[in-house]
Amino acid sequence: MVLLLQLQFLKDHILEVERHIQPGLTRFNWNSLGITEYCKDCRQVLKNLTSLVAQMEKIRQELQAKNDCMEKFDFFYFEKSEEGSGIPCCKVNTFFS
C-alpha cells in the first residue's frame, strides 16, 4: 500500500515514467524504427521506479520494527507505593534522584 506521503515523494518519478511512455502512445507503432530502444528505455524507467518503491517499503518496515521495539521499552522506573494502591510514587526528590 502506497501512502499519501510516498505518493508525494514519488510524484516527480511517476511524471518521469509518464514522459517516457507518452511517445509510445502517439508517435510509435509496432513497425516504427526505434521501437526496441523505446521499449528498453521504458523498462529501465519502470525498473528504477519499482526499485525506489521497494527501497521505500524496506525502510518503512525497518522504521516500523524499531518503533515497535521502542514502544515495548520501559523508559521510566517507578517504585511501588507503600500503601499498595498501585499508584507510583510522585515525589520529585525520589523520582528524579
Q: Where are the domains of the chain?
A: 10-15+34-97
- What b/e sequence results for 26-50 when a residue is b if at least 16 CB atoms lie within 10 Å of its CB, and e otherwise? eeeeeeeeeeeebeeeeeebeeeee
pLDDT digits (tens, 9 = 90+) for 55-93: 999 999 999 999 998 888 777 666 665 665 566 555 555
pTM attached to this predicted model: 0.64
Nine cell digits for residue 31: 513497425
What's the CA gap between 97 and 91, in Å, rounded?
10
What's the CA gap between 10 and 84, in Å, rounded?
55
